[in-house]
Structure 1
Amino acid sequence: MTERPYTDVAVIMRCEHIANRWQPWRWSLAEVVINEPAFGTEPRQILQDEREQRWLFPGFRVELFRDDAEGYHLNLTSPAPCWFVMWRRDEDPGSGEIPLARPVAVSLSYHDAGRWLDAQETVEQVPAAPEVVEALRAFVAEHYQPEPKRRKRPDSFRSLQDRFGNPASVTTEKQRGGGGGGGHG
C-alpha cells in the first residue's frame, strides 16, 4: 500500500477586540503554516495586546486522497487556491475568559469544505502558499480525471411519455366517433 502525500500544518487563530457590548471579541482564521517541531503539540497563545490575541494550534495532518482529486482541482481552478479550516468555539469558560476557537480539521478540498458547510460548521479559508499550490497542482495533474462529457441526445429522439410516465404516441389521423357531445348539425 502506498502512503498518501501529506503536509503537517499548524493553524493560527485570531481573536480581535471589537467595540460591541454584546460580543466584545471576534474569532477568525489568521493563517495556516507548515508545522515546525518547535511548535510542540499543545495549543498556545503567541500574541496578546489590547487589540488582539493569536493562538497557535499545531499538529494537523493534511493528506491528499486520489478519490478527492476533483475537490482539489476545484480549489486550484478558483481565483485564489486556499486552505479550508473548520473550527468550533469552546463552551463558555466562565467569568471574564474568552472561549477559545479551536480548529477541528484542515483541508485543501472544496468537497470537504462543502460537506462541513452543509453540516452548518464554521469554515473559513486563507490563501495557500505558492509551494503548497504547486504540490497540489502536481498531485491533481497525476490523479484528476475529468468526467467524460456525454453527448445529449436531441429531444426529438426521446420517447414520448404522458404526465404519468406511460408511453404516449402522437398521430396525425383524424379521430372518429365517440366525439363526446357538441356535434355540428
Structure 2
Amino acid sequence: MKQNDESLTVGVVVEKRKSNHPWIDHSWRAVAVIPGAPALEPRGAWKVLESGDDYTRYHAGSLPVALYRKETEAYRVNLTQEPPRVFIVMRKVSEEGEAEQEVYPILATASPYEAQDYLDSGEEIVEGVAMPDALIAFVSQFVGEHHVDEPFYKRKRKRYDPNDVGFGKRGPAFDDDGGGTRH
C-alpha cells in the first residue's frame, strides 16, 4: 500500500436464501462483516455459520477494507449515513467452472463512490451491510488524521463578445447600405 494508507481485514458473511420466485431457486447477498476475522484455510473453503429452514449463512472469506488518503471525502459521506455501511462486491462464478459456490466476494470498501462504480457496471452484486463499531472507529480515526478540506473556487466566466462568432473568429462585416454585401 501507499504511504499513509491503511487497511483492516474483515470476514464477509454471505447468505444463501431460498426464493419463492418461479425462475430462481435461491438468492445470494452479503449480510455482515466480522472485523479481524482470520482467513479461511484452505482458501476458498466457506464455513457454515448458521442455518435455518430457508437460508444458510457462510463465512465466505476475509478481505481487507483499504483506506486511502485521497478518498477521505467518500468515507466522511459514509460516516454521516445512518448506519454507516461497508460495501461488499461479489462476482458470479462463470458457468464453465465447477465451483462449489455460485458467487464469491472480491472487494470490501468503506467508499460509497467506489461501490457506485461497481453498481454502474452491472456485472457484480453490490451489498451494503452495517459497519461494525470497531470499523466505524477505524474509519473515523483515519479520516480525522488525513482529511483535508478542498477549498471551493468559483470559476470566472469570460465576458461575452457578440462579435466573436465561434472558434475565436470574428463574424462577417456587412455594409450599412442595406444591400447585404460583404467586405
In structure 1, distance between residues paired with 2:145 and 2:169: 46
Q: CA RMSD in A?
A: 3.1
Which AA in structure 2 matches 1:109?
S
TM-score (norm 2): 0.76
Unaligned runs of 5+ in 2: none
Contact 2:16 2:26 in 1 (8 A): yes
Matched, 1:8 2:9: yes
Shift of 1:104: 0.8
Shift of 1:63: 2.0
1:109 matched residue in structure 2: 111
Identify which range, 21-30 or 98-107, moves more after superposition.
98-107
TM-score (norm 1): 0.76
In structure 1, distance between residues paired with 2:61 and 2:128: 17
Contact 2:11 2:38 in 1 (8 A): no
Which AA in structure 2 matches 1:137?
S
Shift of 1:151: 3.1
Contact 1:35 1:58 in 2 (8 A): no
Shift of 1:108: 0.6
Shift of 1:23: 0.3
Aligned residue-pair number: 172
2:131 matched residue in structure 1: 128
Contact 2:88 2:108 in 1 (8 A): yes
Shift of 1:3: 6.2
Q: 1:151 to 1:19 in 2, by over 3 A?
A: closer
Q: 1:163 to 1:45 in 2, by over 3 A?
A: farther
Shift of 1:45: 2.4
Q: 1:109 to 1:177 in 2, by over 3 A?
A: same
2:57 matched residue in structure 1: 54
Shift of 1:135: 2.1
Q: 1:76 to 1:158 in 2, by over 3 A?
A: farther
- 1:22-171 alignment to 2 at 5 Å? 22-37=23-38, 40=41, 41=43, 42-92=45-95, 99-120=101-122, 121-153=124-156, 158-160=159-161, 162=164, 164-166=166-168
Larger Rg: 1
Aligned-pair identity (%): 23
Q: 1:84 to 1:72 in 2, by over 3 A?
A: same
Contact 2:46 2:58 in 1 (8 A): yes
Unaligned runs of 5+ in 1: 170-174
Shift of 1:117: 2.0
**1:139-184 Cα distance to aligned partner (Å, 9 max, x none):** 112211222111344x6x6243646243669xxxxx9623237xxx
Which AA in structure 1 matches 2:128?
Q
Shift of 1:89: 2.2
Contact 1:9 1:32 in 2 (8 A): yes
**1:55-108 Cα distance to aligned partner (Å, 9 max, x none):** 1123211221112222212212334311011001224599xx984321111011
